[in-house]
Amino acid sequence: MLNALQNRIIIHPENCRGCRRCEMACAWTDQGLVNPRLAGIRIWKLEDEGKDYPVFNQLCLDSFCGKELPEERGSGVPACVGSCLFNALEMAGGNGNE
């Protein structure tokens, strides 16, 4: 089941380079630690296809971003979206990292 935030994020897997910046930014924003295992987004490596694919997990459902996005906690854009240099993640209605 996706939360309201996930329904507003568009994933462009063809743009993902597997850098994992989204994982680190998510964990730092939500947990205060740079530990990708604490992130609500994971990069799945599809070895047979040679592609990387961003996927949301249960931690995203329970995260600060997944519940609300108040302006006082930043730009109002989830950390995962704002940290992506390759536009693999985009907010519906406009990208937050432009």
| CA distance readout (Å), 45 to 12, 63, 73 | 15, 23, 31
What pLDDT score does 1 carry?
A: 40
What pLDDT score does 31 carry?
A: 85
Max distance between CA atoms of the chain, in angstroms, equals 43
Q: Is this model's pTM higher than 0.75 or not?
A: yes
What pLDDT score does 45 carry?
A: 92
What pLDDT score does 15 carry?
A: 95
What pLDDT score does 70 carry?
A: 47
Parts of the chain with a pLDDT under 50: 1-3, 68-70, 72-73, 95
What pLDDT score does 57 carry?
A: 84
Please give the Cα distance from 80 to 89 (Å, whole number).
Answer: 7
Q: Domain residue spans in the chain?
A: 4-91
